[in-house]
C-alpha cells in the first residue's frame, strides 16, 4: 500500500521517478509506459505545490525552472580538460602502443580500455556529498562556462548520485563526460524546424552544442539531450583515494575483468566508510563501473583489450557496426587501463601520453564540383574552396569543401566541372580527395588562381617561400569580415551573439569599420537589422533582429571590455600570434603600451617567443593605423593591462626560466604546493611526468617510480638539500641543473 503521509509519499514518488529515469535514460530498459511515468511526475508536482516546505533541490521536478539567464559565468575545472591525440591508421595506433610500452619500460603487452568516441561536447559535472552542484563546458580546457541550469534538464544525468550515502565519496568530486543528441531527437528537431520554416541543423553535434549554450533551460529541455560519463577527477575525496604510500598496481592482468563492461560489478564497498577514507578506482574499468554504480550513464560497449592487436580488432569491428547505434561516433577512444601507469607516463602540454583517439576512415562520396571559389581570411590569406552539388556524407549534407591551397589544387589537377571524391576528414571537415579522371569532360581546363582579390580588387601576391596567396589591402571588406569574426570568437573576446551574419550586416551598412567600432553600437541600431536563415527548399527567411536580441549582444560587447589582456592581443589578429602566444606576451609585458613599445630583441627575451613571432608583433605595432586602433579601444573602456594583483601572481622570467622540474615523494621542509610555487617564482615550470626534456627531478621521502625513470634517462636528481640551494639565493645555485 502507498503511504498516506505527505512526507513519505513525496519520498516514495521521488524514489520511483529516479528509478524509472535510470531505467529509461541510462539503462535504455524502461519498465513502465510513458503515461504511467507521467502520472508519477504529475502527482509529485501536485504534492510539492500543496506542501512547498517539503520540496527539495534534488527533486525530479526541479530539472527545468527559472527564467533564461543573461549570460554564462566562467568557472575553473578541478584539473585541465586536455584534448586527445589522434591516430588515423593502424600503423599510427601501433606506434602509439610502442610509445606507451617504451615509456613504461616493458616489451610485454599492456591492457587498454577501448570506448566508443561520442560525437558530442565535453562536460564536467561537480557533485558535493552526492548532490549535483555544477555543470561546466570544456571551454579552453582550464575554464569553462557554467551551464548548470541546462545540465539539470538532461534526464540521463542524476541530480543526486545513487545511494550517495553508501557508495559515493564524501565532499566534492568532478565527473567528466560527453553530452550528445540522439539521432531520433535530431531527426525530430529538424522536422519541427522545417515545418516552422527555420534553418536545419547540419548534424547532431552542432545541435547539441547549440542547445548547451542556450540561455533558456526550458528550451534546452525540449531539445532532448542525453549524456555518457567516463572519468572521475579532482575533489578532496578523490585526491585522497590513491595515497602515495599505497603500492601501485603495475598490471591489470590479475583483476579478472571481462571484455564487456556490462558484466562487471565493481564499486567502493561500504566497509570503506567504517575503516578509513573512500578508496577510489585503481583502473579505468573500475572507474566506469563505479560511475555506473552511482547511477551515472556509462556507454555499455566499452571493452578491455590486451595489446594492440586486440585494439585493432575492436576498431575494425566498430567501423561498420557503429551505424547501428542511436548516437554518432567517429572513432574509438583508447586509454591505458591502470591508473598508476598513467601517472608514470604523464602528459604533454596538450595530450595525455596514455590515451589516443583512433578515427575511423573518412566516409567518401562522389559528386560534381560546380565551381572553385576563393575565400579571403583575416590575415589576407586567399584560399580556394569547392562548391559542390549537395551530397550526404556521414549524416551531413555537404555542399562546400576545402581545397587547402592553390598549389595542392594544381598538384591534384582538380578542375571546375569535374566529378570528384569528397570525404569528411576525421568525420568532421569535408575535403576534396581528387578528381575522377575517367568522367572528366573533354573541354575542361586547368584552374588558376585569380590575379585580383574577389572582394576589393587589389592585386594578389605571394612571397617566394610561401604557398599562400594574399590580399595586402588592410581595408578589404573580406579581411574586415573575418577579422571581426575572429575578434568576437570564443578564443578571443568571446562576444556571444556577434556572428557571421550580423557582422556582415554591420559592414554592409557601414556601421563599423574595425573592431573598435563594435563598442559604439547601441541597441537601437542592432534591433533594426535583420537575421536571415534558409529553409530546406532553399528559400530565404528574413526576420527583424529585435530589441531582446540587440540587448543581449550589447551586454556581451560591454562585458568583453573587462576581458583578460591576452584575449585582446589574440583578438587583434596579429599574424603568427595564437592563443598561446597571446598569453605569453600578456604575461611577459603586462600591458598593451609595454608590448607596443618593445623592440624586436626585447620581444624575443619573452619565454617561448621566437624571431618570426617577434618580428610580426613589431611590424603590426609599427603601423600608425594599428596604434590608432589601440587608442580607440582604450577610449571605449577595453582593458589594456593586467591588473597588478594578477601580474604579481604571474611567474616572471628568472634564473629557472626555460627549465622544467618534476616533484616526487614528500619534502620535509615544505608542501608540494609550496615547492611548486618556489620553482614558478623563479621562472621555472613543474611538470607531472618525467621526459627527456625534464631538467631535473626533485626527490623527497618515499619517492615513486619517477625517480627510477629519471635514472634511466640520465636526468639529474636533486635531494631536498640541493633543492633548497636551487631556490634560495646564493653562489651555489648556478652549479645546479
pLDDT at 229 over 90: yes
Q: Which of 471, 426, 467 is nearest to 451 (CA)?
A: 471
Residue 435 DSSP SS3: strand
In this prediction, residue 163 carries a pLDDT of 63
pLDDT at 26 over 70: no
pLDDT at 69 over 70: no
The arithmetic mean of pLDDT across residues 566-586, rounded, is 87
Angle separating helix axes 611-622 and 624-635, nearest 10 degrees: 80
In this prediction, residue 630 carries a pLDDT of 94
* Distance in angstroms (rounded) separating the CA atoms of residues 604 and 178: 41
278 pLDDT tier (thresholds 50, 70, 90): low
Q: Which of 103, 661, 141 is nearest to 342 (CA)?
A: 103
* Distance in angstroms (rounded) separating the CA atoms of residues 75 and 136: 7
In this prediction, residue 269 carries a pLDDT of 33
Concatenated DSSP letters of 96-143: HHHHHHHHHT--S--EEEEEEEESSEEEEEEEETTEEEEEEE-TTSSE
In this prediction, residue 167 carries a pLDDT of 52
In this prediction, residue 250 carries a pLDDT of 34
* Distance in angstroms (rounded) separating the CA atoms of residues 97 and 338: 14
Longest dimension (CA), the chain: 86
In this prediction, residue 587 carries a pLDDT of 84
Dump pLDDT digits (tens) for 314-370. 999 998 788 788 888 889 999 999 999 998 998 876 679 999 999 887 677 889 999
% pLDDT > 70, the chain: 81
pLDDT at 166 over 70: no
572 pLDDT tier (thresholds 50, 70, 90): very high
Going 700 to 704 to 707 to 708, the CA torsion angle's sign is positive
24 pLDDT tier (thresholds 50, 70, 90): low
Concatenated DSSP letters of 569-592: HHHTT-TT--HHHHHHHHHHH-BH
456 pLDDT tier (thresholds 50, 70, 90): confident
Residue at grid coordinates 582604450 = 634
| Between 377 and 251, residue with greater pLDDT | 377
Dump pLDDT digits (tens) for 460-470. 888 777 778 88
pLDDT at 212 over 60: yes
In this prediction, residue 431 carries a pLDDT of 82
Q: What are the CB-based long-range contacts (under 8 Å, 24+) for 488-494?
A: 488/518, 488/571, 489/571, 491/140, 491/570, 491/579, 492/567, 492/568, 492/570, 492/571, 493/560, 493/563, 493/567, 493/568, 493/571, 494/560, 494/563, 494/567
* Residue 403 burial (CB count, 10 A): 22
pLDDT at 109 over 90: yes
* Distance in angstroms (rounded) separating the CA atoms of residues 621 and 614: 11
242 pLDDT tier (thresholds 50, 70, 90): very low
Contact 400, 388 (CB under 8 A): yes
In this prediction, residue 402 carries a pLDDT of 81
Dump pLDDT digits (tens) for 634-687. 999 999 998 876 765 554 556 777 788 888 887 877 777 778 878 877 777 788
414 pLDDT tier (thresholds 50, 70, 90): very high
User: Does an H or E element contain 342, and which?
Assistant: helix 339-345
φ, ψ of residue 454 to 5 degrees: the values are -70, -15
Residue 229 DSSP SS3: strand
Catalytic residue positions?
Answer: 117
Residue 521 C-alpha cell reads as: 553600437
The arithmetic mean of pLDDT across residues 293-314, rounded, is 94
pLDDT at 259 over 50: no
Average pLDDT, the chain: 80
* Residue 261 burial (CB count, 10 A): 22
Beta bridge partners of 335: 113, 355
The arithmetic mean of pLDDT across residues 531-547, rounded, is 62
The arithmetic mean of pLDDT across residues 139-153, rounded, is 85
| Between 210 and 23, residue with greater pLDDT | 210
Domains in the chain (CATH in brackets) are 6-62 (1.10.287.610), 86-359 (3.30.470.30), 364-470 (2.40.50.140), 477-560 (1.10.150.20), 565-649 (1.10.150.20), 660-735 (3.40.50.10190)
pLDDT at 605 over 60: yes
pLDDT at 626 over 70: yes
- The answer for 674, left when phi > 0, alpha when psi is -120 to 50, beta otherwise, is alpha
Kind of pairing between the strands at 396-402 and 469-471: unpaired
% pLDDT > 90, the chain: 28
pLDDT at 185 over 80: yes
pLDDT at 536 over 50: no
* Distance in angstroms (rounded) separating the CA atoms of residues 148 and 146: 6
Residue 407 C-alpha cell reads as: 598549389
| Between 158 and 607, residue with greater pLDDT | 158
Look up residue 431 and give its DSSP letter. E
Amino acid at each position: 500500500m502507498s503511504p498516506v503521509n505527505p512526507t513519505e509519499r513525496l519520498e516514495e514518488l521521488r524514489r520511483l521517478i529516479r528509478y524509472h529515469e535510470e531505467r529509461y535514460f541510462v539503462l535504455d530498459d524502461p519498465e513502465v509506459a510513458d503515461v504511467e511515468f507521467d502520472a508519477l511526475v504529475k502527482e509529485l508536482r501536485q504534492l510539492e505545490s500543496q506542501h512547498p516546505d517539503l520540496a527539495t533541490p534534488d527533486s525530479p521536478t526541479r530539472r527545468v525552472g527559472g527564467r533564461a539567464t543573461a549570460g554564462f559565468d566562467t568557472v575553473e575545472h578541478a584539473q585541465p580538460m586536455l584534448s586527445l591525440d589522434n591516430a588515423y591508421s593502424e600503423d599510427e595506433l601501433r606506434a602509439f602502443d610502442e610509445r606507451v610500452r617504451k615509456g613504461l619500460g616493458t616489451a610485454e603487452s599492456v591492457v587498454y580500455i577501448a570506448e566508443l568516441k561520442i560525437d558530442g561536447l565535453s562536460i564536467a559535472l561537480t557533485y558535493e556529498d552526492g548532490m549535483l552542484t555544477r555543470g561546466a563546458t570544456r571551454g579552453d580546457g582550464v575554464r569553462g562556462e557554467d551551464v548548470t541550469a541546462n545540465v539539470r534538464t538532461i534526464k540521463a544525468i542524476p541530480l543526486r548520485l545513487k545511494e550517495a550515502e553508501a557508495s559515493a565519496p564524501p565532499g566534492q568530486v568532478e565527473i567528466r563526460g560527453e553530452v550528445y543528441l540522439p539521432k531520433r531527437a535530431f531527426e525530430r528537431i529538424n522536422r519541427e524546424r522545417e515545418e516552422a520554416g527555420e534553418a536545419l541543423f547540419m548534424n547532431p553535434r552542432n545541435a547539441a552544442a547549440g542547445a548547451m549554450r542556450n540561455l533558456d533551460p526550458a528550451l534546452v529541455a525540449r531539445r532532448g539531450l542525453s549524456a555518457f560519463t567516463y572519468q572521475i577527477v579532482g575533489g578532496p575525496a578523490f585526491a585522497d583515494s590513491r595515497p602515495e604510500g599505497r603500492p601501485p598496481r603495475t598490471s591489470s592482468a590479475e583483476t579478472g575483468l571481462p571484455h564487456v563492461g556490462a558484466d562487471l560489478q565493481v564499486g567502493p564497498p561500504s566497509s570503506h566508510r567504517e575503516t578509513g577514507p573512500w578508496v577510489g578506482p585503481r583502473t579505468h574499468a573500475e572507474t566506469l563501473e563505479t560511475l555506473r554504480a552511482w547511477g551515472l550513464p556509462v556507454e555499455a560497449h566499452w571493452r578491455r583489450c590486451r595489446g594492440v592487436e586486440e585494439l585493432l580488432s575492436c576498431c575494425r569491428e566498430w567501423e561498420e557496426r557503429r551505424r547501428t547505434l542511436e548516437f554518432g561516433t567517429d572513432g574509438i577512444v583508447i586509454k591505458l587501463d591502470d591508473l598508476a601507469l598513467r601517472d608514470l607516463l604523464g602528459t604533454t602540454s596538450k595530450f595525455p601520453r596514455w590515451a589516443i583517439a583512433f578515427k575511423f576512415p573518412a566516409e567518401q562520396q562522389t559528386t560534381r564540383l560546380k565551381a572553385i571559389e576563393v575565400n579571403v581570411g583575416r590575415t589576407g590569406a586567399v584560399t580556394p574552396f569547392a562548391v559542390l552539388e549537395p551530397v550526404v556524407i556521414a549524416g551531413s549534407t555537404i555542399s562546400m569543401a576545402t581545397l587547402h591551397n592553390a598549389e595542392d589544387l594544381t598538384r591534384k589537377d582538380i578542375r571546375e566541372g569535374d566529378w570528384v571524391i569528397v570525404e569528411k576528414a576525421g568525420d568532421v571537415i569535408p575535403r576534396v580527395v581528387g578528381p575522377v579522371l575517367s568522367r572528366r569532360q573533354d573541354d575542361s581546363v586547368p584552374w588558376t588562381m585569380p590575379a585580383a582579390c574577389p572582394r576589393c580588387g587589389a592585386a594578389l601576391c605571394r612571397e617566394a617561400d610561401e604557398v599562400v596567396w594574399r590580399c595586402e589591402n588592410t581595408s578589404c571588406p573580406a579581411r574586415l569580415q573575418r577579422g571581426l569574426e575572429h575578434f568576437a570568437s570564443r578564443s578571443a573576446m568571446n562576444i556571444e551573439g556577434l556572428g557571421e551574419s550580423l557582422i556582415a550586416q554591420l559592414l554592409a551598412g557601414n556601421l563599423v569599420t574595425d573592431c573598435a567600432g563594435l563598442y559604439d553600437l547601441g541597441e537601437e541600431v542592432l534591433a533594426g537589422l535583420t537575421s536571415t536563415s534558409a529553409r530546406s527548399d532553399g528559400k530565404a527567411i528574413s526576420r527583424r533582429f529585435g530589441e531582446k536580441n540587440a540587448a543581449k549582444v550589447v551586454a556581451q560587447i560591454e562585458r568583453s571590455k573587462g576581458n583578460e589582456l591576452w584575449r585582446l592581443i589574440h583578438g587583434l589578429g596579429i599574424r603568427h600570434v595564437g592563443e598561446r602566444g597571446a598569453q605569453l606576451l600578456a604575461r611577459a609585458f603586462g600591458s598593451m603600451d609595454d608590448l607596443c613599445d618593445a623592440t624586436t630583441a626585447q620581444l624575443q627575451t619573452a619565454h617561448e617567443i621566437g624571431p618570426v613571432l617577434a618580428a610580426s608583433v613589431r611590424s603590426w605595432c609599427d603601423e600608425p593605423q594599428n596604434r590608432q586602433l589601440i587608442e580607440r579601444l582604450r577610449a571605449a573602456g577595453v582593458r589594456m593591462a593586467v591588473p597588478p594583483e594578477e601580474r604579481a601572481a604571474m611567474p616572471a622570467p628568472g634564473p629557472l626560466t626555460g627549465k622544467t622540474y618534476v616533484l616526487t615523494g614528500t619534502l620535509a621542509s615544505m608542501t608540494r604546493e609550496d615547492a611548486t610555487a618556489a620553482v614558478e617564482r623563479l621562472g621555472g615550470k613543474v611538470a607531472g611526468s618525467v621526459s627527456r626534456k625534464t631538467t631535473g627531478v626533485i626527490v623527497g621521502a618515499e619517492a615513486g617510480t619517477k625517480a627510477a625513470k629519471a635514472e634511466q634517462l640520465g636526468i639529474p636528481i636533486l635531494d631536498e638539500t640541493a633543492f633548497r640551494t636551487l631556490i634560495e639565493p646564493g653562489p651555489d645555485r648556478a652549479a645546479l641543473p
